[in-house]
Structure 1
Amino acid sequence: MNVGFIGTGNMGRILIESFIESGATRPSFIYMTNRTKAKAEDIKNDYPETTVMDSAEEVAKCSEILFICVKPLDIHPLLKSLNHVLSPNQCIVSITSPISVEQLESLVQCQVVRAIPSITNRAFAGVSLLTYGNSCHKVMRKKIEKLFKRISTPIQIEDDITRVSSDIVSCGPAFFSYLLQKFVDGAVAETAITKEQAVQLASEMIIGMGKLLETKLYTLPTLQEKVCVKGGVTGLGIKVLEEEIGDMFEKVYHVTHEKYYEDIEEVSVQFNKIPHK
């Protein structure tokens, strides 16, 4: 099964590398192109059996599953230009959240899926979010799920929770790496520990916490309960967090959704329809 990629930026590259290294597909089945061709050639240097093509049309013609990894405003003109080479037995997979599967289906005659991956997929972990178009057949759904199961836990979602799901799954690693960095910086500023020591300890702690949650021995609240001792230092630290964090995360979700709705309105102009929030 040939898998094509139009766009080999950060996420396009992560998907290509993850699919190959997880064994989801062979390098010889990967076809790709990019506006800046050197980015695609750089991937080929690491995986010589992959194929770099000169145009999006060439990639589309030879791909059963075609990943669209370009900016939201580039998708409408790209798919309009490709529709004449796409057939009903092919499937496009868009990785941008502001464009719905219904909008994608209005542009092409092939099957349609929206997938929102995460950088955690590079470690064959985390979640990938999938939304299927009505055009996507059961056989194709199984093929898409099989690909993503090799690098993640695929979860099907509906449009109404797309942004918040993406905030948690896709943006979450950046948000929590920032918090972890501040956690480390505070330790270095207040104690004699070196930055290198603090980074190592914090990194191992977060890896261990992830594995602990994976066992499902504890929920998030019970994990806190098990670590906290009444009157102990952890409890005092939690009290500071409760006082300082406040509604910080509510504000995070507020601004991400505001930007999301702006993006939706911007791309919807191309489809001659402004959606209601």
Structure 2
Amino acid sequence: MNVGFIGIGSMGSLLIDTFIGSGALKPSQITASNRTFSKALCLADRHPGLQAVPSNRDAVINQDLVFLCIKPMEFKTVIDQIRDVVQPQQLIISITSPVMIEQLEESLPCKIAKVIPSITNYMCSGVSLCMYGDRMTDADKIRLTGLLSYISEPLPIDEQHTRVVSDLSSCGPAIMAYLLQRFIDAAVEETGIPHEQARIVASEMLLGTGQLLTAGGMTPEELQNRVAVPGGITAQALALLNHELDGIFNRLIRTTHTKYREDLDRVKVSLYGKEVNGP
């Protein structure tokens, strides 16, 4: 299987590094292009055998799968560049949530999927959110999920739930890391514990908590009940959080959804022109 990558920024390079590191792909199976060609050359130096190419068209030709790891407003340019070399049997995979499968199917004469990865995939953990276009066969889905299973748990979702599930899977690591950072900083400020010691303890705690909630089979509610003895210290802490954080995550989700809707509108204008969306 030959796999092309258009765009090797943060997530594109993460996918390539992880596919290779997990044994899912050999460097010789990968062709990569990037707006800044020197970055593709550096990636090829890091993974001998990987082919860096100067044009996006070259990243598509003779590839079985092609990952589009680009920003929403870059899709119109890239689609125009590759449209006449895309073949019907090829599978094009977007990792960009506000670009809809229907839009890609209208623009390209091939099979289309959308996959939303997560930074947790770098550790061969977490989920990959999978959405499939109408032209994909069961064999195509098996091939794609087989590749993704090396680095994640592939999870089919409905495209209408892309944003909220992405909040949990892709934004979630940054949100949890931010909360952990604030917890660590407060511990240092209030008690004088060495920052590095607090960071190690808290990070290991988060790892163990994740294992309890997955392999351990606990729900978040069950874990809280196991730790928080009525009238105890943890119960007091949870009561404070319940009061202070009331509604904060609802507002967080409304914020991400508002930005998502703005991005959807911008992509439509970019792909179809303003006349489609009114003045």
Q: Same fold (TM over 0.5)?
A: yes
In 1, Cα distance between equivalents of 2:110 and 2:159: 20
TM-score (norm 2): 0.96
In 2, Cα distance between equivalents of 1:51 and 1:215: 39
Aligned twin of 2:176: 176
SS in 1 for 2:107: coil
1:222 to partner: Cα distance:
0.8
Aligned twin of 1:61: 61
In 2, Cα distance between equivalents of 1:60 and 1:171: 29
SS in 1 for 2:140: helix
1:155 to partner: Cα distance:
0.7
In 2, Cα distance between equivalents of 1:4 and 1:217: 38
SS in 1 for 2:66: strand
1:42 to partner: Cα distance:
1.9
Aligned twin of 2:220: 220
1:4 maps to amino acid: G
Aligned twin of 2:46: 46
Aligned twin of 1:250: 250
State how 1:136-147 maps to structure 2 within 5 Å.
Answer: 136-147=136-147
Aligned twin of 1:265: 265
**In 2, are the aligned partners of 1:180 and 1:202 still within 8 Å (CA)?**
yes
**In 2, are the aligned partners of 1:113 and 1:130 still within 8 Å (CA)?**
yes
1:246 to partner: Cα distance:
1.0
Aligned twin of 2:26: 26
Aligned twin of 1:74: 74
Structure 1 residues not aligned, in runs of 5+ = none
Aligned twin of 1:237: 237
In 2, Cα distance between equivalents of 1:249 and 1:154: 26
Tell me how many residue pairs correspond in the alignment: 275
1:16 maps to amino acid: I
- CA 1:274–1:121 in structure 2 vs 1: closer, same or farther (change >3 Å)? farther
SS in 2 for 1:112: strand
**In 1, are the aligned partners of 2:56 and 2:81 still within 8 Å (CA)?**
no
Aligned twin of 1:149: 149
SS in 2 for 1:80: helix
**In 2, are the aligned partners of 1:188 and 1:194 still within 8 Å (CA)?**
yes
In 2, Cα distance between equivalents of 1:263 and 1:172: 20
TM-score (norm 1): 0.97
SS in 2 for 1:48: coil
Question: What value does the CA root-mean-square deviation take over the aligned residues?
Answer: 1.2
1:265 to partner: Cα distance:
0.5
1:216 to partner: Cα distance:
3.7
In 2, Cα distance between equivalents of 1:155 and 1:178: 25
1:233 maps to amino acid: I
- CA 1:217–1:159 in structure 2 vs 1: closer, same or farther (change >3 Å)? closer
2:245 maps to amino acid: I
**In 2, are the aligned partners of 1:80 and 1:108 still within 8 Å (CA)?**
no
Q: Identity of counterpart residues, as a percentage?
A: 41
